[in-house]
A and B are shown apart, each in its own frame.
Chain A
Amino acid sequence: DVKVTQSSRYLVKRTGEKVFLECVQDMDHENMFWYRQDPGLGLRLIYFSYDVKMKEKGDIPEGYSVSREKKERFSLILESASTNQTSMYLCASSPVDRWDGYTFGSGTRLTVV
């Protein structure tokens, strides 16, 4: 019973391409998050959304944008992919009425060549 689904497990893109990473959750959670995880740097928040069409920048939003047109779907967009965006990307969601942490998706390993 997968609850947070990321559309791709592995992705290879070329420098300069526009890249879409998709995340869908079926738990009716209000909050959704995008993190990237790099060795030695840990998990860093890129963007989060607390409602449809609402978004807020995280710690490292440069080079990224997001879209949340429906409650269950939160997309991360790399406007023009660069090699320093090669990373593991993790989507997570959480409810607002019960604070017991995030549920993570399985992650997308993105390589930009």
Chain B
Amino acid sequence: QKEVEQNSGPLSVPEGAIASLNCTYSDRGSQSFFWYRQYSGKSPELIMFIYSNGDKEDGRFTAQLNKASQYVSLLIRDSQPSDSATYLCAVQGGSEKLVFGKGTKLTVNP
């Protein structure tokens, strides 16, 4: 059974701080990695994806991948109250399906 693990949180950071969200996965053959943001009562929206080891930056967001450690993270710089949401890590292995973690709830305090 392929598994994706995330700390459920809640993770609480002050406005302007860096929020660090972490995810580990069990399937060493996993190829693609995704971060989705989900506001309360809404559906998930894709914010980042990463395929290769290292860092990928998009505005205030940086995804980091370490395949040897089976670890993927999301950093949010200059956190804003509007970043308060649940962040879902998702992993794609050898098929078209994504396996999702249960999510980490982030609260950014003004």
Contacts and interface: CB of A to CB of B under 8 A. Distances in A.
A61 to B, nearest CB: 13
B101 A42 contact: yes
A48 B96 contact: yes
A103 B43 CA distance: 10
Chain A CB within 10 Å, residue with most, of B42, B44, B46, B103? B44
Nearest to B44: A104
Contacts of A90: 43-44
A33 B97 contact: yes
A101 B96 contact: no
Nearest to B92: A99
Interface of B: 32, 34, 36, 42-46, 49, 88, 90, 92, 96-98, 100-103
Interface of A: 31, 33, 40-43, 45, 48, 50, 58, 90, 94, 96, 99-107
